[in-house]
Amino acid sequence: MELDIAMRVKDWIPGVQGKTGSAKIHDKMIREFKAGLSNYNFDKSRQCIGAMTIEIDFLQKKSTDSSPYDSDKMAAEFIQQFNNQGFSVTQQLVFSFCDKLFGLMVKDIEAMDASILKGEPASGKKQKIDIGLMVGNSQVIFEKAESSSLTLVGKAKTKEARQTIINPDWNFEKMGIGGLDREFSDIFRRAFASRVFPPDIVEQMGCKHVKGILLFGPPGCGKTLMARQIGKMLNAREPKVVNGPEILNKYVGESEGQHPQTVRRCRGRAEEGERRSLGANSGLHIIIFDELDAICKQRGTGASSTGVHDTVVNQLLSKIDGVEQLNNILVIGMTNRPDLIDDALMRPGRFEVKMEISLPDEKGRVQILTIHTNKMRSFNLLAPNVDIKELAAETKNYSGAELEGLVRAAQSTAMNRHIKATSTVEVDMERAEKLQVTRDDFMGSLNNDIKPAFGTNQEDYSSYIMNGIIKWGDPVTHVLDDGELLVQQTKNSDRTPLVAVLLEGPPHSGKTALAAKIAEDSQFPFIKICSPDKMIGHSEISKCQAIKKVFDDAYKSQLSCVVVDDIERLLDYVPIGPRFSNLVLQALLVLLKKAPPKGRKLLIIGTTSRKDVLQEMEMLDAFSTTIHVPNISTGEQLVDALELLGSFTDKERASIAQQLKGKRVWIGIKKLLVLIEMSLQMDQDYRVTKFLSLLRDEGADRSFYE
C-alpha cells in the first residue's frame, strides 16, 4: 500500500519526481498523504465492471517468445487474481501468467448493465466509466500492444482492425480475364476463401491458408495475366517476380545462392514487418515464379555434373518449408511443362493448388475478343458488321494471346489502307479520320496472319482430299455414314470419351482421304494427322516423342480428332528383316487405349493396308471398331467413278462401259485417278484404248482380257 502511495506522490508532486530526498522527508510525505486519504465506496449499481479492455505486452523485451497465449485462460486467471479490486482507465499493472510477467494497461472500462444486476433481461445500453469494480462475472478483453510480438489466441481478445484481402477499389467485371471464369472461381475457393473469413473463425477451425498456387497450361492462355490480376485484386504488396531462366546463369555459385536469397528477402519483409505487428491481419506478400520448370526440374535428371538444378531445388524446398510457417505469404508458380517440375514441390503445403489454364471455349473467346475490342467500340472505330460471336466461332483452339494477336493484325490491316504508297510514307488524314476496323480485316487476318498453335491446320489434311471424295458406290457412302455416327458418338456420349476406329483395306483404296474427310466434316476444334512422311529419318525414341506430342496437344482441346495414317509404316513394318519397331508399337498401344482427361473427348481414326499384320501384333483390340474400305470391284462401279470425275466424254465413257460390261475389276480409286490422268495425255482418238491398256496392265480380272 505504501509503495503504491509513494508512486502516486511521485506522479502528483512535480517537485519530488526524479529527485532523491532523504528517507525521513519521504516517509513524512507519505504519512501526510495517507492522512488526507479516505476509503472509496463503489456504487455497485453503476460502477461494476461489465467489460474491461486491457492492453498487454511482455514486461521485459528480452523475455519475449513466439508461443501463443490463450486469452480465455488468461482472462479467467486475471479475474481470479483481481476479483473485487478497483481499476481505473490508463492504470498500469503487472500480471503473471504461465510463469511469464506481462505489463498491462487499462484502456477502456464499460459498466455492467444495471438490468442484469437486478436479474432482469439486458437493456442493451452501454456506458463508459473511468473507475470500476472487478466482479466475478466481469468480462476481460486483452488487446496486444502496438509493435508487440505477443501472440494471442482465443475469444477473449479484441477484434483487431482486419485488413480486407480484396482491394476495395477492385471491380471483378473489369479484371480483363476472359474465358477463365471457372478457373478463377476455383482458385478463389481454394486459396482465398480462408483469407476472406475473419482470422478468429479460421483459427477456431484449425484451418491453414494455402501458400502455393501452380498455374500450368499451353503458352498464351493467360497464366501470367492470371497471376498479375491476382496481385492487383488482392490488398497485397507489390508482387516479387522471380524469373527462372535468369536464375541459372553461367556463374554456378551465384545461381545456387541467388534464388534462395530472393525468397529469403521476401520472407524477411513479411516476417519482420507487418507479421510481427499485425499477426494474422498483416498484408499479403506475393512471390511469383515465372517459368518455374527452368529452376525446379526433377532432381537427378540433369546431364550436367555440376548439379546446379538439384542444389537450387533443394534450397527452394527448404525455403518453401520455412514460408509455410507464415500466413501472409502466397507463392504463385507458372509453367507450361508441369511434367518437368520436381514432385516434392507439388505436395500439399507447397504448391498445393494446381490449376490448368487451358484453351478458352467459345464463350471464353467471346469474352476475350470483347475485352480487346472494347476500346475501339467506345470510340466508334469498330465497324457494325464485326460480329464477335462469329469471330469466336471461327477461332476454335485459339489461345488468349492468339486472339489478341488477331485483333492487332486486323487493326494493322485497317490502318494500312490509309497509308499512301508514294516515294514517302504518309498517312491519308482525310480518310484516316473515318478509320474503322471491318469484318474483312478480321477475316483476312484470320486466314493469312494468325494461325493457332494448338488447332486445325487445314493445309495438313486438305492435300489428302484435294480431288474430293468420289462416291463411286455404296461402299464409300457406308464408310462416310459410319464415320459420321462415330463423330456424333464422340460429341454426345459421356460414356465413351475415347472412340477409336480403324479404316482398313487394300492399297490405293482411298482410306486416308476418307479419314481426312471424316475428320474435316466433324468440325472438331483440334484435327491433326500423324503421318509417316513427317517422321522420315526419326529414331525410334524421337518418333515416339513426336506421336506422343500429337496426342498431348489433342488432350488440351475439348473435342479432338487424331488421324494415325498408314500404321504399318509408322511401325517400320517389312515382311523381312527386323520386321517392326516394338518401341513405337508399345507407344501406340498405350496412346490408343488412353482415355483423355476429364471433360475432353477424342476421336482416333487409324488407317492400314495390312490388317493381318495388326492382328498378329494384337493392335486391332485397341480400336473400338473396324471399317473395311474396298477397291472398285465391278465395271459398273468403275464407269460411275468415271462419270463423277468427268474426265472422259460421254461417247468415251459409253465405249469404256461397253468393254467392261459384266466384267469384274479390282482397282483402288487412287490408282484409277493416276491411270485416267495418264490416258488424258494421249490424243483424243487413243485415250480410251490407252486407258483400257493401262487397266489391263494393272492386273484386273483375267477373264476381262481373255
Q: Active-site residue numbers? A: 511-512, 565-566, 593, 670
Which residues have CB under 8 Å from 50's CB, separation 6+? 110, 111, 112, 113, 116, 126, 138, 139
* DSSP H helical ranges for 523-660: 540-555, 567-570, 582-593, 611-616, 635-645, 650-660
Helix 635-645 × helix 669-679 angle, to 10°: 60
Residue 561's SS3 state is: strand
Give CA separation, 253 vs 258, 262, 336, 500, in Å: 9, 15, 27, 52
Strands (E) located in 176-304: 212-216, 240-243, 285-290
Count of CA atoms in the C-beta half-sphere (13 A) of 453: 17
Closest CA to 511 of 466, 476, 560: 476
Contact 130, 124 (CB under 8 A): no
Closest CA to 489 of 517, 454, 548, 481: 481
Grid coordinates belonging to 150: 505477443
Query: What span, in angstroms and rounded, lies between the C-alpha atoms of 25 and 678?
Result: 134
Q: How many CB atoms lie within 10 A of CB 554?
A: 25
- Residue 277: its H or E element: helix 274-278
The residue with cell 480486407 is 164
Residue type, 588: L
Which residues have CB under 8 Å from 160's CB, separation 6+? 143, 144, 278, 279, 281
Give CA separation, 567 vs 519, 547, 555, in Å: 17, 12, 21
Q: What is the DSSP string of 294-320?
A: GT-BPTT--SSTT-HHHHHHHHHHHHH
Contact 369, 407 (CB under 8 A): yes
Beta bridge partners of 608: 504
Query: What span, in angstroms and rounded, lies between the C-alpha atoms of 464 and 488?
Result: 23
Closest CA to 523 of 558, 493, 553, 475: 558
Q: How many CB atoms lie within 10 A of CB 81?
A: 12
Which residues have CB under 8 Å from 22's CB, separation 6+? none
Phi and psi (nearest 5°) for 107? -95, -35
Phi-psi region of 619 (alpha: psi -120 to 50; beta: other; left: phi over 0): alpha
- Residue 490: its H or E element: helix 474-492
Query: What span, in angstroms and rounded, lies between the C-alpha atoms of 75 and 28?
Result: 39
* DSSP H helical ranges for 330-399: 362-378, 388-394
Grid coordinates belonging to 242: 522471380
